[in-house]
Structure 1
Amino acid sequence: MQRGSFVGNIAKDLKLDIKELSDLAARLTSRGRTQYFALDLNTGYIIVKEKIDREAICRQASQCLLNVDIIIGNSVKIYAFEIMIQDINDNSPTFHDEEIELKISESTTPGTRYLLQDAEDSDLGNNSLQSYQLSNSEYFTLNVQPGVGAVKYAELVLEKSLDREEQAVHRLILTATDGGDPVRSGTAQIHVIVLDANDNAPVFNQSVYKVEVLENVPIGTVVVTLNATDKDEGINSEITYLFRKITDKGSQIFQLNPKTGIISVVGDLDFEESEAYEMEVRASDGGGLSAICKVLIQVINLNDNIPELTVTSLFSPVAEDSPPGTAVALLDVHDRDSGESGRVTCFIKGSLPFELKKSTANYYSLLTNRNLDREEVSEYNITVTATDKGIPQLSTTKNFLLLILDKNDNPPIFDQSSYMVYVKENLPAGTSIYSTKATDLDWGQNSRITYSIIDDELSGASLSSYISINSETGVLYTIRSFDYEEFRDFQIQVKAEDGGSPTLSSNVTFKIFIVDQNDNYPVILYPSFPADGSTGVELVPRSCDPGSLVTKVIAVDADSGQNAWLSYILVTSTDPGLFTVGLHTGEIRTVRSFLDKHSVKQTLVVLVKDNGQLPLSSTVTVTIMVTDSIQDVLSDLSSISSPTDTESNLTQYLVIAVATISCLFFIFIIGLLAIKLHKWKESQLFESSSVNFSAVPTTQYVGVDGVKAFLQTYSKDLCLTTDSKKSQFTNPNSSHSNTLAVNQASQKQASLLFTEAIHLGNEDINLFQVSGFFEIFLTNFVQAYEESVSFQKIKALLEMLDLRSPAV
């Protein structure tokens, strides 16, 4: 049949949809053979792909069947079918030798038969050899005898005696014909040479030789030795052995020694190619007489073929979320041996999440038997072993790599559940403070991590204005410098997000602690520099005892820890050795009793220093009047002026603050203060011409800065008594506090002073308290300016000073 010829409608026979065949990419496979057929996916027809020669495929087999499998797509459906190849008369009968030479003695009696060479026809049945014909001859006729099966033997029969002298050579034509339509034929020339008389033909000791031989015998092995004898003498008794009939394959495997009659192996025997070989041997003597025998060689099967294992389909990579039972490969297993030696079993080496399931006689499906996890195993090197049941057992292995396709099923994971980061204050913007790291067990884009900060607010501002993060590396950077005095710690949330679809993410908390640096000078709260024209003088009676408390220097430091530990040092004094300052309390006490030689006015310079690595310090000047009479004090007040060359930083801050504040507001405050001072002088100070200071404690401060009110908040053991004629200070066994809390807010001090003033009554208000209140207010104002707070904070301070109050 020509290429493209119709063989069968497989779609109709299997009841399959044409579209299903096309969509599933069905295909034909023929194991170990040429692909003679093809599947037309558009029609479902099986058509001839290559021209078929039945004789080349099946030789002399009575039935010629081709086994073909149809594999349908990834569903691994397999359909097996057989195609029978029908014989046609396409081969003519042929003779092995086109010329046949016969030597016949002239003494041969009529009726003697001479076996002729058989013709061969590869076709079967009626298409094979059917008859012989001989050309006309008066000496010879042809006798055709039936043989085994459909094989026929042709014999040349001598009809009348030969006379070599009359005719030495007779030429005949032998014609072999088959039964096909049309009839095919083949011819051979017969040359009959007339010889002198030879009346004895060779005789074999066996008419049929049957032997068995193992299929793995080495080349050169003797299979059988033929034996024929001739009773004649001389040349008529010399016997020569020749193959009379043998297949082409047999002639390549076996060899016959013409002198000895030994048949030996010269090629490779294979039971799977041919189980037996049949041949005929002719023994001829020197006189032209011959005899034939049949030789049957049976090949004994051995397990000499290793199983063949082929990966027909491999579905790699396979997704890690594939359910159990997913097909990952299709295996074709075949063993060319027969019987038990051809039965094959397959198994997988190792404990792998796969199993083999037999689909058909020769196909195995490799399936998953549990869930896969690429993060646990990213690829599998699968080894499949096929073993037959022969003795000894033979096996073969096949290795193939199966890749696992990643799915985004793992979120990023930080190396810690939370982080604590310590950052020094005043670091420049853009400084790297920490590098975080998250890992993702997935692969490729699914493991690509980007970092971001979950925005929130800190002190009314967005966290993104304080901290940023590199989205690729996870390094945290400062956007601006931090101030420990503004806030000491805060939290941020960092999110790590992978690049999968859908994306997965995780968050972690960073607790950021600001580490204090010594960047704030000590601030002197008391005594402060007079800013309202007052002298700021402490009064000490000459009769006070050594160790009496004169006053106390109070300072605070906005830093913390050891940076805020303050030390008080007496730098200079008018009369050295007369006063001492507590190193940690700031209390100024007398060392010894006062003498007449001691100056009434004592000026002390006190240094306040913090305990930072690079210590910062401030100084304050304390003026002390040693006297028992108020007239002496008043006479000296005019000569006392506020220091002009103080080294205190507070003076500089006050100048800056006053310069930047509205001039109109400042004039209003000073005017109000002048009016109150004027009223106080008229109503109380000058009503008494003599004041007894014998009971005045050593801690009182006389002047227009109102420190008396401040001292009332400092020591609640002090009491104030005022009448229309005199002012009396008493200190009944007071026990003073050693220190003032460093973090005591200045605003609270101002509020306490103001409350104390209201408590004294509208009529009995003391100017010392009012001026002290203003002093604390101005100190707070300077501090607010230094810390760059907003005007809302300044407004709050102003509201604390309620100018409408009757006390004011």
Structure 2
Amino acid sequence: MCITLPFYQAALSTSRREVCPDENGVCPVCAADRSVQFSENNTVGEVVANISVQSGVTLRFSKENSDNPFRLEGNQLVAARVFDYEEKTNYDVEITCIETATGSQLPLVIVVLLINVNDNPPVFDQNPYYVRVSEITPVGTSVGRFAATDLDKPSQLYYTLISKTNFFKLRSPTVPDLLVETVLDYDKVNNVQLVLYAQDTPLTAKDNTASFTGTTTILVTILDGDNRPPWFQPCTKHDVGGALVCQSAGYTGRVVLNEQETGVLPLKPGPLYAIDGDSGINEEIMYSFLSGNDAGLFEINPNTGNISMLKPANVLGNISLTVLE
């Protein structure tokens, strides 16, 4: 036998999904699941929840709201618009059940929990990123982390780095730390362009799961490090084991025995002159004699490198001057 209770008794049964009759033989006049799950990106008119009502009972929303995202169609709660999880994750729908014969009313609340659907791409907060790295940065050093964000909040994002060189790499497909992979050389390459991709599904996924990708560019400027000595000019450049050196044949000059040369001592192939081997730094060169001037015959201008005689040479032979710059 099915017994219909008055509204004040039936209200006790709205906290769970009701069946008629329930375990107590009671038929609630108005009942529904207390909470329902509903996917975002739905179609308008899609059924959100079914409401069980007895004969002679009508439904209406407890509060009039012109912007109500739901509507009632008979005993069904349906979507009046397309929902977006990133905008709002849940709704409390307040409904009043009205018994037509007596006018008695029963409140009914359905909590609609939106299900998040993967519908947003990962996004980087900059495009491009600018990075400056010294050429003497050790291999394996991190020069920055470039993580993307995703409104869908997936448990993990996956990254791929694209480059025409092998100077940089990612720490791993899931950790977007940019690491120095090989020794850098300012004189060979001083600008590198990298493209970084972020994907919201595993890179090797083979199913038909929706997948979105975000992209950014990383522009790396390689700075000259202070790792080369000055180079006397002219010189011939050689690559020795990956290191660039510049070999000078030295300078020669002649003086007359027992005669003092006036002015700047003429040298071949040209005046004494050096440049900083680190062209990007180009520090000022200072000159001094390291050896060969024990007799004090010559002096050198510390700023220009010009050599002049202080007194005549009284010994016949070669004089070898070593200049430190």
TM-score, normalised relative to structure 2: 0.70
1:320 aligns with 2:40: yes
**What is the CA distance between 1:540 and its match in structure 2?**
4.1
**What is the CA distance between 1:508 and its match in structure 2?**
0.9
The equivalent of 1:505 in structure 2 is 213
Which blocks of at least 5 consecutive residues in structure 1 are unaligned? 1-29, 34-306, 336-341, 531-535, 609-808
Name the amino acid aligned to 2:299.
F
The equivalent of 2:78 in structure 1 is 367
Distance in structure 1 (CA, Å) of the matches to 2:134 and 2:286: 25
**What is the CA distance between 1:322 and its match in structure 2?**
1.3
Distance in structure 2 (CA, Å) of the matches to 1:398 and 1:334: 14
**SS of residue matched to 1:485:** coil
TM-superposition CA deviations, 1:444-471 (whole Å, max 9, x none): 4xx63101112x423xxxx3x7423411
Distance in structure 1 (CA, Å) of the matches to 2:160 and 2:42: 33
TM-superposition CA deviations, 1:154-178 (whole Å, max 9, x none): xxxxxxxxxxxxxxxxxxxxxxxxx
1:348–1:553: structure 2 CA closer, same or farther, 3 Å change rule?
Answer: farther
Higher helix share: 1
**SS of residue matched to 1:367:** strand
Distance in structure 2 (CA, Å) of the matches to 1:495 and 1:31: 64
Distance in structure 2 (CA, Å) of the matches to 1:554 and 1:426: 27
* Number of equivalenced pairs: 275
1:506–1:328: structure 2 CA closer, same or farther, 3 Å change rule?
Answer: same
**What is the CA distance between 1:520 and its match in structure 2?**
1.6
Contact 2:135 2:183 in 1 (8 A): yes
1:466–1:562: structure 2 CA closer, same or farther, 3 Å change rule?
Answer: closer
Distance in structure 2 (CA, Å) of the matches to 1:345 and 1:316: 18
The equivalent of 2:192 in structure 1 is 490
The equivalent of 1:521 in structure 2 is 229
Output aligned runs, 1:277-356, within 5 Å. Answer: 308-311=29-32, 316-333=36-53, 346-349=60-63, 351-356=67-72
Name the amino acid aligned to 2:279.
S
**SS of residue matched to 1:414:** coil
**What is the CA distance between 1:481 and its match in structure 2?**
2.6
Of 172, 190, 196, the residue aligned with 1:470 is 172
TM-superposition CA deviations, 1:705-756 (whole Å, max 9, x none): xxxxxxxxxxxxxxxxxxxxxxxxxxxxxxxxxxxxxxxxxxxxxxxxxxxx
Distance in structure 2 (CA, Å) of the matches to 1:332 and 1:482: 72
The equivalent of 2:164 in structure 1 is 457
**SS of residue matched to 1:380:** strand
Contact 1:575 1:598 in 2 (8 A): no
1:469–1:330: structure 2 CA closer, same or farther, 3 Å change rule?
Answer: same
The equivalent of 2:122 in structure 1 is 412
Contact 2:34 2:111 in 1 (8 A): no
1:404–1:543: structure 2 CA closer, same or farther, 3 Å change rule?
Answer: same
**What is the CA distance between 1:397 and its match in structure 2?**
2.1
TM-score, normalised relative to structure 1: 0.31
Name the amino acid aligned to 2:253.
E
Distance in structure 2 (CA, Å) of the matches to 1:348 and 1:431: 62
1:581 aligns with 2:301: yes
Contact 1:571 1:607 in 2 (8 A): yes
**SS of residue matched to 1:413:** coil
Distance in structure 2 (CA, Å) of the matches to 1:354 and 1:577: 103
The equivalent of 2:252 in structure 1 is 537
Distance in structure 2 (CA, Å) of the matches to 1:529 and 1:469: 46
1:348–1:415: structure 2 CA closer, same or farther, 3 Å change rule?
Answer: farther
- Seq. identity, %: 26
The equivalent of 2:4 in structure 1 is 32
Structure with bigger RCO (C-alpha 8 Å, 6+ apart): 2
**What is the CA distance between 1:482 and its match in structure 2?**
1.9
Distance in structure 1 (CA, Å) of the matches to 2:113 and 2:59: 26
**What is the CA distance between 1:526 and its match in structure 2?**
5.2
1:553 aligns with 2:272: yes
Decide which structure has the larger Cα Rg and report it: 1
Contact 1:570 1:607 in 2 (8 A): yes
The equivalent of 1:606 in structure 2 is 323
Output aligned runs, 1:744-759, within 5 Å. Answer: none
The equivalent of 2:95 in structure 1 is 384
Distance in structure 2 (CA, Å) of the matches to 1:443 and 1:398: 33
Distance in structure 2 (CA, Å) of the matches to 1:451 and 1:346: 50
The equivalent of 1:697 in structure 2 is none
**What is the CA distance between 1:602 and its match in structure 2?**
5.1
Distance in structure 1 (CA, Å) of the matches to 2:216 and 2:280: 30
The equivalent of 1:794 in structure 2 is none
1:520–1:371: structure 2 CA closer, same or farther, 3 Å change rule?
Answer: same
RMSD of aligned alpha carbons: 3.6
**SS of residue matched to 1:559:** coil
1:356–1:581: structure 2 CA closer, same or farther, 3 Å change rule?
Answer: same
Distance in structure 1 (CA, Å) of the matches to 2:71 and 2:119: 25
Name the amino acid aligned to 2:301.
V
Contact 1:355 1:369 in 2 (8 A): yes
Name the amino acid aligned to 2:159.
Y
1:433 aligns with 2:143: yes
